[in-house]
């Protein structure tokens, strides 16, 4: 049974947000998506998210109630950020102990914009793929941050928003397993073929876990998660 209420999913076209979108489609009768163009170095992310959305719409029961998609342009965020996602900077660890892929406060902004849209669309559930189990340790992905922001947004807009982060406590292997639970091999195939994770924007090299350079931190996480998930599957078979 689907909940009548609507949900707005922060959807980037990556593996995590695709699983979150499927999770939302399994629970809510009306699901909309929001994405952000902040001058990402690799436009491939924005191209792939369109592909994932159009393929998901063909997923019978799961995709039939996938609603509107919006992409907001936030070029200032790119201009403010000296990171390897928006500039030609090598991916490494900074002196603050954060990877150079960190865009300061990105998720705070994204969720606040999402809430502003949700407010107008009469949606009170926001869903995002933030995960504190990733080694990257982005402080705006931590549960405490998300819960505090949920409180602040609810106070600031004077309506009660809930932010759901289905991946917060699970690792990448469990994210693959969750995708399989929701949509079987078809959804796993869609994630492999069309979602984009690689920090270098590589769509040339195809691995069993999808496309990517295979060596950047995002590819390593995705590949390791895939291998662990497949091993767990075999052990339980």
Binding site for Zn ion (CB under 5 A): 198, 200, 212-213, 216, 219
CA atoms of 39 and 227, how far apart (whole Å): 32
Minimum distance from CB of 180 to Zn ion (Å)?
Answer: 23
Minimum distance from CB of 105 to Zn ion (Å)?
Answer: 24
- Contact by Cβ (8 Å): 117, 124: no
Minimum distance from CB of 199 to Zn ion (Å)?
Answer: 5
User: Counting runs of H as helices and runs of E as strands, what totals does the chain give?
Assistant: 8, 7
Minimum distance from CB of 222 to Zn ion (Å)?
Answer: 8
Query: Which CB atom, from 32 or from 45, has the smaller least distance to Zn ion?
Result: 45
Query: Which CB atom, from 204 or from 235, has the smaller least distance to Zn ion?
Result: 204
Query: Which CB atom, from 183 or from 212, has the smaller least distance to Zn ion?
Result: 212
Query: Which CB atom, from 28 or from 211, has the smaller least distance to Zn ion?
Result: 211
Minimum distance from CB of 192 to Zn ion (Å)?
Answer: 15
Q: Pull the structure tokens for residue 191.
A: 């994630």
- Residue 131, Cβ density class (10 Å: 0-12 exposed, 13-18 middle, ≥19 buried): buried
Assign 116 to helix, strand or coil: helix
Q: Pull the structure tokens for residue 135.
A: 């080694």
3-class SS shares of the chain: helix, strand, coil, % to 5: 45, 15, 35
Torsion-angle region of 148 (φ positive above 0: left; ψ -120 to 50: alpha; else: beta): alpha
Query: Which CB atom, from 74 or from 213, has the smaller least distance to Zn ion?
Result: 213
Minimum distance from CB of 22 to Zn ion (Å)?
Answer: 23
Query: Which CB atom, from 25 or from 216, has the smaller least distance to Zn ion?
Result: 216
Task: Strands of the chain (E only): list them.
Answer: 3-10, 28-37, 66-73, 125-127, 162-164, 206-207, 210-211
């Amino acid at each position: 049974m689907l909940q009548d209420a609507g949900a707005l999913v922060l959807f980037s076209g990556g593996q995590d947000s695709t699983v979150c979108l499927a999770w939302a489609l399994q629970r809510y009768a009306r699901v909309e998506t929001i994405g952000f163009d902040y001058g990402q170095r690799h436009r491939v992310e924005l191209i792939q998210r369109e592909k994932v959305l159009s393929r998901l719409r063909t997923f019978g029961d799961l995709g039939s109630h996938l609603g509107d998609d919006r992409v907001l342009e936030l070029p200032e965020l790119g201009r403010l950020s000296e990171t390897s996602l928006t500039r030609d900077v090598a991916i490494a660890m900074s002196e603050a102990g954060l990877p150079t892929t960190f865009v300061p406060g990105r998720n705070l902004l994204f969720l606040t914009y999402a809430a502003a849209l949700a407010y107008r669309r009469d949606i009170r559930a926001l869903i995002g793929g933030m995960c504190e189990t990733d080694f990257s340790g982005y402080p705006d992905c931590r549960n405490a941050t998300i819960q505090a922001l949920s409180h602040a947004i609810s106070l600031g807009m004077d309506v009660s928003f809930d932010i759901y982060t289905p991946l917060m406590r699970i690792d990448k292997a469990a994210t693959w397993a969750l995708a399989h639970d929701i949509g079987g091999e078809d959804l796993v195939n869609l994630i492999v073929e069309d979602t984009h994770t690689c920090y270098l924007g590589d769509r040339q090299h195809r691995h069993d876990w999808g496309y990517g350079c295979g060596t950047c931190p995002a590819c390593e996480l995705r590949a390791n998660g895939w291998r662990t998930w497949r091993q767990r599957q075999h052990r339980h078979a």
